Amino acid sequence: MRFRKQQISVLDKSHPADALDGMRMADEEQLLLDFQNSLKNDFPNPGRAGCPPANVLRGIALREIKLSEARPWLAHLGSCSVCYQDFASVQREAKKYRKLKAFAAVAAILLLSLALALFLRQGFGRSEVSVLDLRSYESLRGSDAATGSSGPPLILQRNTAEIVVQLPLGSPEVVYELQVLNSSTQEILLKASGAAHIVDHTTVLRIRPDLHVGSGSYILRIRRENLNWSYYSVIVP
């Protein structure tokens, strides 16, 4: 077995212990490298005399068999370059597989995170609540024009998860229809209905919309069943 000699000409006098530890570590690493190279090359066995079966060698390399079963072959592994090369190859492949498996796990987590972020962005996990306060408007009744109410425009959040409509004073606890329209084309972008309930002297209608609109001006209209619509201007910031 051949080993390299390492010559040390200068010691770090300021930290002799650290320098000595560094030299010892380097010596140990070089010794291990020389030992591995010797096992790979210095014990040829072209006829594979006394070699263990391939499945046993693989089991030893992957630590899949018990030490008591592997022990009879350990001495042979230390004196057969062919077996050691196969042993080292199996370990390299196993290490590469573990890295790929770890990479795949990380990639799966990243993809899952991305999918969740897109899912939330599309609205399922939205947390915005738009409160439309109509209490200062007149009681619900038909409007002469579908261009919006005469009052100030209401603010409807684009990523809203819930629309809470505080209906005009005196509105009864009944089922209401709610629609959002394109202010230019009168296209209906949202249809919803629900029963209103009085909460702290205010009639409240709650709607969980499936609404996907961009910034701009829209029309909100609300009515009780079989009655005329009332119209309100809406701005989506």
Q: What is the pLDDT of residue 11?
A: 44
Q: What is the pLDDT of residue 16?
A: 56
In sequence order, the 6+-apart residues with CB closer than 8 A to the CB of 185 are none
Q: What is the pLDDT of residue 22?
A: 57
| Dihedral angle, C-alpha 139, 143, 148, 151, nearest 10 ° | -40
Give residue 123's region: left, alpha or beta (phi > 0; psi -120 to 50).
left
Range 73-95 average pLDDT: 83
Q: What percent of the chain has pLDDT over 70?
A: 73
CATH architecture entry for 128-236: Sandwich (2.60)
Asked whether the predicted pLDDT for residue 120 surpasses 90, the reply is no
Q: What is the pLDDT of residue 202?
A: 93
Highest mean pLDDT among 3-17, 81-95, 118-132, 191-205: 191-205
Q: For residue range 17-53, list pLDDT tens digits in order.
A: 555 555 566 666 766 676 667 676 778 888 888 888 8
Higher pLDDT, 102 or 176: 176
> pLDDT confidence of 10, banded at 50, 70, 90?
very low
pTM of the model: 0.46
Highest mean pLDDT among 19-23, 94-98, 125-129: 94-98
Q: What is the pLDDT of residue 6?
A: 47
Q: For residue range 164-179, list pLDDT tens digits in order.
A: 999 998 899 999 999 9
Range in 29-38, 115-124, 155-164 the model is least confident about: 115-124
Where exactly are the structural domains of the chain?
Answer: 16-118, 128-236
Q: What is the pLDDT of residue 25?
A: 65
In sequence order, the 6+-apart residues with CB closer than 8 A to the CB of 68 are none
CB 57 within 8 A of CB 82: no
Asked whether the predicted pLDDT for residue 133 surpasses 90, the reply is yes
